[in-house]
Structure 1
Amino acid sequence: MKKILILMLMAASFAAHADSFVKGADVGWLPQMEATGYKFRNAQGKEEDCLQILKDLGINTIRLRTWVNPSDDSASGHNSKDETVAMAVRAQKMGMRVMLNFHYSDSWADPQQQRKPAAWANHDFPQLLKDVYSYTYDVMQAMKQAGVTPEWVQVGNETRTGMIYPEGHTDNWPQLAQLINQGYDAIKAVSPASKVVLHLDRGHDNKWFRTWFDNAKAHGARYDVIGLSYYPYWLDGRPDYTLSINDLAANMNDMAARYGKEVMVVEVGGEDSQPQNTYDMLMAVQQKVRAVPDHKGLGVIYWEPQGARSWSHYELSAWGADGRPTKAMEAFRAR
């Protein structure tokens, strides 16, 4: 009887971990897609709410970005506080978890561009610290008032060379760490249970990750989770994921062991014209994340799977010209 009880407890523990594994979609484009009249269809061709389609495909987490004072541009605008909160409420009502991604910009922030918001352009560094705290606190408070507790919150997006240039560039780690900690402190002040994520691109590049997170540690940057982007399509002329997937796995394992942190692939994508290959890649990425020791691999989030090329001109969605998800998304149904 004792042996059976132990086995039952082990099975329950495994099931709980499996159920908590993040299968996510970043859908920042969704509000403007809907506003422009784009029609989403399920696998049977029936028009349906995009979030419902994603949920039926196994998606349990929605990632949303927020920009400070965005424009109304259809591709590079929207994602204001109010719009992001509304999307978070909608996702939560469907039983999905929420990840919130602070870009600290009025538009895209990534390794090519980390422009500070126009309203902060002439502020000195002490004021920028206050800006980051007050803006982060304000958005988090709006989420709380709407009844949403984001499970994960990113401070910055793909911050390989820092954020809020030039003050927060990695050329000046003492200042970058202070900016990160203002975001961290504001998040925890409103939502202590939310886990703070620091996120870099090129998730296969262990040397760069070690350099960055060694600096983060040395300068006292506070965070809970290491986020990685993984886009084989963009990797130095090596679009075949089989050439880099083991490097991704080794890097995640090293990050978890070296810094004692959980890891998550917070952005991934493959060619919409190669759905079988993208399916295979997603299966491999999920397997590698699940294999991170001590259950420190949290999950995988596809970036804009619904962002069909016919609307966005983005080649790495997982949606077809017929308005339906491609086979690639079936990878999230798998255990």
Structure 2
Amino acid sequence: MKKTFLFIVMTAIAIGGWSQSILSEVFNLPDVRERLLGGDASLLPSYEQKGTVYRDAEGNAVGALDFFKQNGWDCIRVRLFVDPSKAPGINKGEGVCQDIDYVARFGKQIKQKGMKLMLDFHYSDTWADPGKQFIPHQWATHTEEALCDSVYAHTKASLMRMKAAGAEPELIQVGNEITNGMLWPVGKINHNESDNWDILCRMIESGTKACREVCPRSKIIIHTEKAGSWAITKRFYEELRRHRNDYDIIGLSYYPMWHRNMGVLSATLDSLERYFPFKDVMIVETAAYYSHDNDPWSKPDTYSEFYPISVDGQTMFTKELVAELRRHKNVTGLFWWFPEENASGKEVTKGNLNRGLFDNKTGCALPSLRELQKFKTR
């Protein structure tokens, strides 16, 4: 009898019909969901190729992936562009270079370290984010149907290549920060209207279909960036539900300088658990400034109304974020964006963002890296 009950429970989890949080409440079971901790370290191979030295807080040289793992990280996120050779020069200077050859090599390195891989599909030749979702050069003249076919073919071919390289991802993002749609203008949406939701959901379906065929055990993430607006977040995922889109995890970006205060994030996470109880949530992008040194985009006090632009300010943000996320059972992942930034060696990017986890002057690990470990503590 006990074996039969256990089989039913495990089968329900495996097929995705019941989330582990729902099972825990219904059957009074312990919540055993795995929490993943990591970061989008897509540019790490470029830094290593330049001979950049990463150091611990005491100044000792370390291997970056090994050091992340020692600090409790178990998953690395890597972005993939369609053809980054066609990206504008300014974007290449910001780190747009991840084609399938690059990503397959890096993915294999990650897996050999015993870490999980999150593959982040940017369906573009350059950055795909709320302000830009440009159609790749190769797909420029495609019709709606042809764009959907290209999303499917590109996703399938890329995943087959990853598997052949020994780098099958455990997590796959179908699109990057797609609250406003993707493959503009064809797949662009307006949250005040009903236009284009059908085509956007068909594009997403094309990507997820390829994921299920090639990597059936992988979890699919749909990633948006309006954690500071519950109304928009709710509308987006309700449309996916209405169109019966197939995915596993709600992925959010949360940056304090753009997405409002921690209390707003908390309310969004509470609402997601109430309205979408069968979906786990991951913060797939977050970061905060510790400096504006050699930053061509910001003045010294830019964003300082949220957290001080200092090492202490970044540490304060990290402590508060981790404490907040640990309150929410539906949150099962936390990923820092661009943790590998390290300008202490030869130039890799044009200018500094200063939101990473290593000091750009010394290459030493910042205190926030240590604070992130607490997300994994039960």
Quote the residue 2:243 is aligned against: 219
Quote the residue 1:6 is aligned against: none
* Cα drift, residue 13 of structure 1: 5.0
Per the alignment, in what secondary structure is the counterpart of residue 95 of structure 1? coil
Quote the residue 2:305 is aligned against: none
Determine if the alignment matches structure 1 residue 199 to structure 2 residue 223.
Answer: yes
Cα distance between partner residues in 2 of 1:328 and 1:218: 40
Per the alignment, in what secondary structure is the counterpart of residue 107 of structure 1? coil
* Cα drift, residue 150 of structure 1: 1.5
Residues 141-172 of structure 1: per-residue CA shift (max 9 Å, x gap): 11222233322111110111001111111141
Determine if the alignment matches structure 1 residue 286 to structure 2 residue 322.
Answer: yes
Per the alignment, in what secondary structure is the counterpart of residue 216 of structure 2? coil
Quote the residue 1:263 is aligned against: 281
Quote the residue 1:4 is aligned against: none
Determine if the alignment matches structure 1 residue 131 to structure 2 residue 150.
Answer: yes
Determine if the alignment matches structure 1 residue 316 to structure 2 residue 355.
Answer: yes
Quote the residue 2:170 is aligned against: 151
CA contact (8 A) 2:343 2:363 kept: no
Alignment of 1:248-259 (within 5 A): 248-259=265-276
Cα distance between partner residues in 1 of 2:198 and 2:128: 20
Per the alignment, in what secondary structure is the counterpart of residue 198 of structure 1? strand
Structure 2 counterpart of 1:285, one-letter code? L
Q: Judging changes above 3 Å, is the alpha-carbon distance between structure 1 residues 149 and 206 closer, same or farther for their aligned structure 2 residues?
A: same
Determine if the alignment matches structure 1 residue 25 to structure 2 residue 42.
Answer: no
Alignment of 1:165-244 (within 5 A): 165-170=184-189, 171-235=195-259, 244=261
Alignment of 1:24-173 (within 5 A): 24-71=38-85, 73-170=92-189, 171-173=195-197
CA contact (8 A) 2:290 2:312 kept: no
Residues 229-268 of structure 1: per-residue CA shift (max 9 Å, x gap): 1111234xx6xxxxx1121122122113212211010000
Structure 2 counterpart of 1:229, one-letter code? S
Quote the residue 2:365 is aligned against: 325
Per the alignment, in what secondary structure is the counterpart of residue 46 of structure 2? helix
Quote the residue 1:298 is aligned against: 332
Cα distance between partner residues in 2 of 1:54 and 1:133: 33
Q: Judging changes above 3 Å, is the alpha-carbon distance between structure 1 residues 125 and 206 closer, same or farther for their aligned structure 2 residues?
A: same
CA contact (8 A) 2:341 2:354 kept: no
Per the alignment, in what secondary structure is the counterpart of residue 38 of structure 2? strand
Aligned length: 312
Richer in helix (by share): 1
Cα distance between partner residues in 1 of 2:226 and 2:54: 31
Cα distance between partner residues in 1 of 2:323 and 2:162: 33
Structure 1 counterpart of 2:127, one-letter code? W
State the identity as a percent: 30
Cα distance between partner residues in 2 of 1:99 and 1:185: 17
Cα distance between partner residues in 2 of 1:309 and 1:268: 20
* Cα drift, residue 207 of structure 1: 1.2
Structure 1: gaps spanning 5 or more residues: 1-11, 239-243
Cα distance between partner residues in 1 of 2:258 and 2:355: 10
Tell which deviates more after alignment, 104-113 or 39-48. Answer: 39-48
Query: Greater relative contact order (Cα 8 A, min sep 6): structure 1 or 2?
Result: 2
Structure 1 counterpart of 2:268, one-letter code? N
Quote the residue 1:247 is aligned against: 264
Per the alignment, in what secondary structure is the counterpart of residue 308 of structure 1? coil
Cα distance between partner residues in 2 of 1:325 and 1:83: 25
Cα distance between partner residues in 1 of 2:156 and 2:321: 34
Structure 2: gaps spanning 5 or more residues: 1-28, 190-194, 292-309
Residues 191-233 of structure 1: per-residue CA shift (max 9 Å, x gap): 1111111111131221110121122222232221111111112
* Cα drift, residue 309 of structure 1: 5.6
Quote the residue 1:7 is aligned against: none
CA contact (8 A) 1:319 1:326 kept: yes
CA contact (8 A) 1:272 1:326 kept: no
Structure 1 counterpart of 2:98, one-letter code? N
Per the alignment, in what secondary structure is the counterpart of residue 267 of structure 1? strand
* Cα drift, residue 297 of structure 1: 1.3
Cα distance between partner residues in 2 of 1:169 and 1:309: 36
Residues 22-55 of structure 1: per-residue CA shift (max 9 Å, x gap): 1111011112222233222222322222111211
Structure 2 counterpart of 1:26, one-letter code? D
* Cα drift, residue 120 of structure 1: 0.5
Quote the residue 2:11 is aligned against: none
Using the size of structure 2 for normalisation, the TM-score is 0.78
Provide the alpha-carbon RMSD of the alignment: 1.9
CA contact (8 A) 1:272 1:318 kept: no
Structure 1 counterpart of 2:177, one-letter code? E
Per the alignment, in what secondary structure is the counterpart of residue 177 of structure 2? coil
